[in-house]
Amino acid sequence: MRDEDVLIGSLLEETWMTLEQLAAACAVEPDWLRHHLDEGLFPHTESVSGVWRFSAAALTRARRMRRIERDFEAVPELAALVADLLEELDAARARLRRAGLD
Amino acid sequence: MKYQDYYQILGVSRDAGPEEIKKAFRRLARKYHPDVSKEADAEARMQEVNEAYTVLSDPEKRAAYDRLGQGWHAGEEFRPPPDWGGEFHFGSHGFSPDEATEFSDFFSQLFGGLGGFGRQPRGFRSRGADHRAQVLLDIEDAFTGATRQLSLQQPQADAQGRVTLATRTLNVKIPPGVREGQIIRLAGQGEPGTGGPAGDLLLEVRFRPHARLRAEGRNLHMALPVAPWEAALGAVVPVQLPAGTLKVRIPEGSQSGRQLRVRGKGIPGSPAGDLLLDIQVVLPRADTPKARQLYETMARELAFDPRDAGRA
């Protein structure tokens, strides 16, 4: 393919990601994801007739949790707690931005 | 290729023990965590710290690194000794092959690049890893769509399996209706696979700050300044949007702080977002005799106390 060609992307969230796609996108093993899903560490994630589907937000969460677990040898529940707090921080920062206060 | 002083990066002495190295790494991992760090170059520094820890936390890699000797200084031009390589076999230590490809040239020269370090055997037909990047857009682009040129630094392996960073330029068409935080997937534009398909390139959408508009999902927030008589009597006022000018009716008796919602006039999509207008009543200055006279007439003839709790 030539570099000059124009690429047309598809928007995630309108397509959703499968478990394997999410695992590939955040460089984790699918088993790591399955284990964390079974333990309920991914809230707001749904499975439709046994098939998991993930939004773009789940991608950020998976990367964060894996990073906390690896860097600090944290247990998954602690990494999930940190991810919860970071998500609240994101939401609070977005509200400040919208109010023009950041 | 520049020499990397891994001891200096972690801030430990060359005879530091494993516990000390782990502690230094965790301290820096906390300092440069991208979600909370106040440092401007946190991500790049964390990359260095990860690389240094990958080497110094692994006895084999550390021993190999130490064999280079102490004569080197950080940033100095470096070539590995001619007899280097072949005798080491390095395992993976927490970092995936995808992450390790972001390490420096120095690292891949010493410890092998895509072909050597940490590669889990995936069989002959393995899919390439996905790559991620951010794409910075203007809010206007979400209305019209846009074509953006992206320059990406991507690791590429040469015939000997050595990894260098190559700049790759891509022209990407951004569809209309994108939201902040959304991910655009370019199928097959990630790392090439080994016998299997290439990985994907995932672009995360960010908006540049806009002078008047702020996006929240597909909803758009905007302040709408109005004159006191427009707010009091009601009016139809023009609102400039990326898609053109919109006429908006201000209801009679509007006050500052009231929010008007214009359905479907935010970022397009299915469903389209709403436009949320925050009314701000702006007072004309009393800097001419005529203006002063009008204010004085109102003061005299209107029974109005803004501090009266019972006012409408």
Q: Which domains does chain A have, with CATH numbers?
A: 19-97 (1.10.1660)
Question: Is A27 close to B129, i.e. CB distance below 8 A?
Answer: yes
CA distance B244 to B221: 16
Whose tokens are 């990047």? That residue is B133
Average pLDDT, chain B: 82
- The string of pLDDT tens digits covering residues B160-191 is 766 667 788 888 888 888 888 888 888 888 87
pLDDT exceeds cutoff 70 at B154: no
Average pLDDT over residues A69-89: 93
Query: Pick from A14, A57, A84, A9: which is nearest to B174 by CA?
Result: A9
Q: B114 pLDDT band (50/70/90 cuts)?
A: very low
Average pLDDT over residues B291-306: 93
pTM of the complete model beyond 0.80: no
Q: Residue A15's pLDDT is what?
A: 61
Residue B65 CB neighbour total at 10 angstroms: 19
pLDDT exceeds cutoff 80 at B1: no
Question: Is B182 close to A13, i.e. CB distance below 8 A?
Answer: yes
CA distance B16 to B22: 10
Q: CB burial class (10 A; 0-12, 13-18, 19+) of residue A18?
A: middle
Share of chain B above pLDDT 90, in %: 34
Question: Is B182 close to A98, i.e. CB distance below 8 A?
Answer: no
CA distance B94 to B89: 16
Residue B61 to residues B49, B53, B266: CA-CA distances in angstroms? 15, 10, 55
Domains and CATH numbers, chain B: 6-111 (1.10.287.110), 131-207 (2.60.260.20), 213-301 (2.60.260.20)
For residue A39, the SS3 value is coil
List residues in chain B touching A: CB distance below 8 A: 25-26, 29-30, 33, 35-36, 94-99, 127, 129-130, 132, 147, 168-175, 177-178, 181-187, 189, 199-200, 202-204, 214, 216, 221
Helix and strand totals (H; E) in chain B: 9, 11
Q: What interhelical angle do B18-31 and A56-72 show, nearest 10?
A: 150
Share of chain B above pLDDT 70, in %: 79
Supply angle C-alpha B231, B232, B236, rounded to 5. Answer: 50
For residue A41, the SS3 value is coil
